[in-house]
Amino acid sequence: MSLSPCCATGFRWDGTPKGTETTLSSNKAYVTGTNKEAAVLIVHDIFGWTLTNARMLADHYAEEADVTVYLPDFFGGEVVAPNRLDPDYAGEPFDIGAFIGRNNKDIRWPEISSCAKALKAELGFKKVGAIGFCYGGWAVLRLGAKENALVDCVSTAHPALFQNADIDAIGCPVQFIAPEVDNTFTPELKEYALKTLPTLGIDFDYQYFHGLKHGFATRGNVNDPKQKHGLERAKNVAVDWFREYLH
């Protein structure tokens, strides 16, 4: 399973993030929120940790779910230019294959898992959740796998780079935020998830978004009523998920 061109499209949101920058494990990170017992780790999409959209979502989770949210840099300082999301962008096509080669699972998993471990072991949080968007999907599923058990719950919106075996391995409450049109969370993967999740002995939540496309939860067009409703609903169901399993 690979990423597709839709992973590099979408819209930028207007707003000013409320948090600050810090370090988590050895990674730079955006942090927002004041809760000392419950934390959420965001594993970002290809636009990385500096995208305003991602930071604004982190602020919403922190305030509405009463958690402290960490959004680390998992691309080693590389940033995909946010102007690629502008309607009139006319630059060079994005080489997704090369990008993933520089940020493949073997390279990034050690630091992703290290950040998750640090939230409890170093910072003292009692409960930790994780949410991954697109590229981050495979990572949060692995964080919540039975053999790792690094988080107490996970959520993922339009996840990418995962397989049936990653669903089989989930060992904690899991939420899928699934748009109708998605070249990475394919119909086959959706069917497998819906068939398999009830057999795993865990709580799960499968949220389906009719008529919406990959990327809507982090890069949807707020000027389009259907997309705006969808991205707000996606935010709200994630907030509800964290409130239920981290408090």
CB burial of residue 68 (10 Å; 0-12, 13-18, 19+): buried
Domains and CATH numbers, the chain: 20-84+92-246 (3.40.50.1820)
pTM for this structure?
0.95
- What is the per-residue pLDDT for 12? 60
β-pairing, 20-24 vs 38-43, is unpaired
76 pLDDT tier (thresholds 50, 70, 90): very high
Q: Indicate whether 130 pLDDT > 60.
A: yes
**What torsion do the CA atoms of 77, 148, 7, 20 make, to the nearest 10 degrees?**
-40
